[in-house]
Amino acid sequence: MFYKISNIANKDSIERKFQVSFQFPNLYEPKKLIEGLKESTVAVITNAEPDKVTYAIWGLLPENFEDNWSVFQDVFNTLNVSMETLQSGNKIYNNALKQRRCVVLSTGFYTTLLSDGSVERCLVHLPNFEPFPIAAIYNELTDGFMTCSLVLIPSNDSFKNIPNLSELKPLVLNDKELKQWLDTSTSLDGINKIYEKHHSLDFVFEVEPSVV
């Protein structure tokens, strides 16, 4: 599973890359390590407002949930969700793939590597640390806060050069796929085509010391 991402992009580079503006620019802060298990906030673009960057708590909560984030995550971890689960009709993700798509903005995500009997963390990123969008789904709570979950798909040959103990990978979108993902008129068949024909971007990686 994927519980750590990185976003070191500055505000201007994100606005240029995705042709968006920040809804609350003073709240944005680049971070080398964003840990989902610690109730972190991530920068997102939603299909409801595809020209704006806003913020969501990483870890999806049901729309009518009123208890603490940690209470729900202790019972049902929703930092990630597989495309298969989204398509299964699970009530927690009710209609999210069809109605509430978003992307999490990132400059990297972390995989794990088993080396000499220990687990090491690998930061996966584009060669120039350019920001990229990770497909996600979101819910809006009654208090107006958004929560989100990264979408995972099976690894394929286009990802084979990246060390990864998991058989899954985040669904990272290219420019064409991003437009389709955030277009409210895109059908579920169109979303399935993105998933089925997905080809990884040209990622590189670096091994970082010791992982918990």
Answer positive or negative: Cα dihedral of 65, 39, 35, 112.
Answer: negative
Beta carbons of 81 and 151 less than 8 angstroms apart: yes
Q: Is 10 domain-assigned? A: yes
Beta carbons of 131 and 106 less than 8 angstroms apart: yes
Report the number of distinct structural domains present in the chain: 1
pLDDT digits (tens, 9 = 90+) for 47-59: 999 999 999 999 9
pLDDT digits (tens, 9 = 90+) for 57-115: 999 999 888 889 999 999 999 999 999 999 887 888 888 999 999 999 999 999 988 77
Provide the phi-psi class of 16: left if phi over 0, else alpha when psi is between -120 and 50, else beta.
alpha
pLDDT in the model for residue 193: 93
Q: Is 39 domain-assigned? A: yes
Distance CA(97)–CA(88), nearest Å, equals: 11
Residue 211 has pLDDT above 80, yes or no: no
The domain of 10 spans: 4-207
Q: Is 196 domain-assigned? A: yes
Distance CA(153)–CA(102), nearest Å, equals: 16
Q: Is 97 domain-assigned? A: yes
Q: Is 212 domain-assigned? A: no
pLDDT digits (tens, 9 = 90+) for 144-168: 899 999 999 999 898 989 988 889 9
pLDDT in the model for residue 210: 59
> What are the structure tokens assigned to 192, written together?
């399935």
pLDDT digits (tens, 9 = 90+) for 116-129: 777 889 999 999 99
Q: Is 136 domain-assigned? A: yes
CATH number at residue 57: 3.90.1680.10
Q: Is 145 domain-assigned? A: yes
Q: Is 72 domain-assigned? A: yes
